[in-house]
Structure formats: structure tokens, C-alpha cells
Amino acid sequence: MQKIIKGPAYVLGDNIDTDQIIPAEHLVYSLSDPEESKKYGRFAFSGVPPAKAGLPDGGIPFIEGDDYRSKYNIIIGGSNFGCGSSREHAPFALKMAGVQVVVAESYARIFYRNSVDGGFIIPLESVGKINDRIKTGDLVQIDLANQTLTRLSDGQQFSLKHPGDVLPIIEAGGLFAYARKSGMIG
């Protein structure tokens, strides 16, 4: 697992539900077909109302035009990130768009599980709220071993929480890899 992840941040508010991450009408595409699955990247965060897309100012598209990759690889969210449906298409869509890490104040359970068990993205919790202190486009660096997020423009550091018991699954890259490593499955 990559220990240092750096890139521009895309900032969102509280209660970003799975319909905002990937609207239900798009759940029909194949997740395994290499071409068709790019559509998940294309429509990632397309359900976020424009005024709340890319805080603090809003109006910043996560995906530009018909592209399926975003220039933002780090998402900063508030509380209850990923609430709503159980669709694993949500963390998958973020992965397809090039997201590596989401840092949020808290997560809804199923989104968190899906992110970790599917090995799509790394969901980290901030200590307290930070989505009002980072701006969309800020260059940030995440140190996974030391659980910190640093804003590179001024060196301001924010603490992240240790992932606890799920760390071995994150490090293995997902539930199946973990179960193989630990001898649960062949």
C-alpha cells in the first residue's frame, strides 16, 4: 500500500449520500467491462447540486466535460459521508474517477465497508471537522503511517484517526486479498 498520497483536494459538505455520488439511473452499466465501466467515473458526484459541488464556493465540476477521470484524487467530506443505499457502485465510481483517498469526519457503515472490502479507495476519518478548513484545489499530502493530512501551501497539519481493526484489510487491498493472506480461503 502506498504510504504517502498527494494531490489536489475536492471538498464536499455533510451527508453526501450515494445518490449524489452516483445517481441511481447510472447503476445499470457493467462494472467489469473496461470501456463501459468508465461511465461510472464519468458520472461520479454528478448528483451533487452545483452550488455544493467543490466547496467553499461551489460550482466546480468534479469531472470536466466527457472525461471519466477527475483531476482531484483526494476528497474531503463532512459527517455521514456515503449515507443512503448499499450500492458498491459508489466507491467504485470514485475509484474509476481516479480518487485514492476520502477523508471525512464520519462515514455511513455500508459505504465504509464497501470502500475497504472492495479495496476501491481508502476511507479515513479526520479528527473533527476539516471540510470547512480546506478549499477545493488545495494541494494536500496524506501520510497513512502517521495519520496526518498536510496542506502543502502553508504546512498546516490535520490529524486523522487510526483505522483500527480494519487496517489489515486496507493494507491487503480488500477483503478477498485479506482472506487469502490469512488462510481463510484458498
Partner 1 sequence: MAMTITEKILAKAAGKKEVSPGQNLWLNVDVLMTHDVCGPPTFQIWKREFGEKARIWDKNKLVIFPDHYIFTSDVHANRNVNILRKFAKDYQLPNYYDVGSERYKGVCHIALAEEGFNLPGTVLIGTDSHTCTAGAFGLFATGVGNTDAAFILGTGKIWEKVPESMKFIFEGSVPQYLTAKDLILQILGDITTDGATYRAMEFDGEAVRSLNIDERMTLTNMAVEAGGMNGIIAADEVTRTYLAERTSKPFEEFQSDPDANYHSVYEYDVGKIEPLVAKPHSPDNRDTVRNVRGAKLTKCYIGSCTGGKFTDFKNAAMILKGKEVRVPTFIIPASPSVAKRLQTETIDGKTIEEILADAGCTIAPPSCAACLGGPADTVGRSVDHDVVISTTNRNFPGRMGSKKAEVYLASPLTVAASAVTGVITDPREFL
**Residues of this chain that bind partner 1 (CB under 8 A):** 15, 17, 19-20, 23-25, 27-32, 47-49, 79-80, 83-89, 106-110, 113-114, 117-118, 165, 174-176, 179, 184-186
- Between the CA of residue 177 and those of 112, 116, 119, 170, 172, what are the distances in Å? 17, 11, 9, 10, 6
Amino acid at 51: A
In angstroms, rounded to a whole number, what is the distance separating the alpha carbons of residues 135 and 12?
9
Helix (H) or strand (E) holding 114: helix 109-117
Smallest gap from residue 130 Cβ to partner 1 (A): 17
**Considering beta carbons, is residue 1 or 24 the nearer one to partner 1?**
24
Smallest gap from residue 4 Cβ to partner 1 (A): 26
Smallest gap from residue 83 Cβ to partner 1 (A): 6
Q: What is the DSSP string of 72-92?
A: --EEE--SSBT-S---THHHH
Tell me if 69 sits within 8 A of 44, measured CB to CB. no
**Considering beta carbons, is residue 3 or 162 the nearer one to partner 1?**
162
Smallest gap from residue 55 Cβ to partner 1 (A): 15
**Considering beta carbons, is residue 98 or 118 the nearer one to partner 1?**
118
**Considering beta carbons, is residue 28 or 145 the nearer one to partner 1?**
28
